Amino acid sequence: MMRAMLTPPSGARLSGQPVKLVDVIRTGGSRADQLQRVETYWDLCSSVADYYLGLREQDELQKLRASVSKVGPTWQQAESELGVRIGTSQRAAVASQYRLASMMGRGGGDSLPLPADLPHCGDYYARFSQVFAGRQSAEAQQLSERRALPGELFVEIPADAFSQINVAVNQKLVAAVTRGAELRKLTTFCDLFAGVGNFALPLSRLGLSGVMVERTPSAVQAAQRAAAEQGLSRLKARTADAARALSDLVREGQRFELVVLDPPREGAPEVVAGIPGLEPRAVAYVACDPATLSRDLKPLVAAGLRVVSVQPFDMFPRTHHFETLVWLEAPPKAGTTAG
């Protein structure tokens, strides 16, 4: 979604050459310089995305106006506010361009940098180990941040690990998952696509025992450090692809009352088919694409799980994108009653 937002629409007035974050960092002379470059690159990405989004909204507004015979003061105010926002975000983008260019020793004009990829994705993700080869305890760990979670917890986020972009809304999302687990009186969990422990750490603090599965080694290490520092001894971790780890867990006879999954935008069709093998009482599926969510829910429902709640979260304000939390429950086993 963010990559699409960084594609310039017609009428965009930003010149420059696309540059990858990996190349921005590579020429940094010190750790402090590298950290400044990462922060400036992200500022550039955000302001460029907001500028392009404003232009697209302006285009849609103009198309809509053409179909309206007369507009009132509210419409005119919206157009005026949008124009101010576009101008402000354009100036912020240019300022970030010049700041980053200065850090990289570039001049102005066509040599100004434009974002070619984003932190936590693309070529930067794939080549992170090449940039920091053999220096994981120095620069790589310094390029991380701590973010607050509900319950006076924190997660540690390395530069090459995924994290939700909207901190405030993410806290609401995490609280909804932990509240759902508490209301259902669940005691064990398996967190697939666990990242840095966004859900696993709070569930552990709640008193559940569980396993987190994540394929990015630095994310697993960060979660383990955060768990140890916060006294969360009930959390185990596996560094593995979700589908492979799920198959191993089922083969080992592992069972979990709760399965949490927050897969990438393309969903997890190869994973959801194996979830019933863990015999969960409940599944919490977090998704950012309604289409792939709908597709992935079908095999879970076919396996006997029932959708009991669907809750949207405005993770990406001023866009049509949103995060969705779906709770599914298994029917009570014979001889038991629903809690």
SS (H, E, C) the chain: CHHHHCCCCCCCCCCCEEECHHHHHHCCCCHHHHHHHHHHHHHHHHHHHHHHHHHHHHHHHHHHHHCCCCCCHHHHHHHHHHHHHHHHHHHHHHHHHHHHHHHHCCCCHHHCEEECCCCCCHHHHHCHHHHCCCCHHHHHHHCEEEEEECCCEEEEEECCCCCCCCHHHHHHHHHHHHHHHHHCCCCEEEEECCCCCCCHHHHHHCCCEEEEEECCHHHHHHHHHHHHHCCCCCEEEEECCHHHHHHHHHHCCCCCCEEEECCCCCCCHHHHCCHHHHCCCEEEEEECCHHHHHHHHHHHHHCCCEEEEEEEECCCCCCCCCEEEEEEECCCCCCCCCC
Distances (CA, A) of 317 to 53, 172, 321, 322: 11, 15, 8, 8
Residues of the chain with pLDDT under 70: 1-6, 68, 107-110, 118-144, 159-160, 334-339
Structure tokens at 133: 């080869």
Between CA 124 and CA 240 the distance in angstroms is: 20
Between CA 51 and CA 30 the distance in angstroms is: 31
Architecture of 143-329 per CATH? 3-Layer(aba) Sandwich (3.40)
Whole-number pLDDT of residue 108: 59
Answer whether 0.75 is exceeded by the pTM: no
Between CA 7 and CA 18 the distance in angstroms is: 11
**Residues tagged active-site:** 288
Whole-number pLDDT of residue 274: 95
Instruction: Enumerate the domain spans of the chain.
Output: 2-126, 143-329
State pLDDT tens for residues 19-35. Answer: 888 888 887 778 788 88
Whole-number pLDDT of residue 306: 95
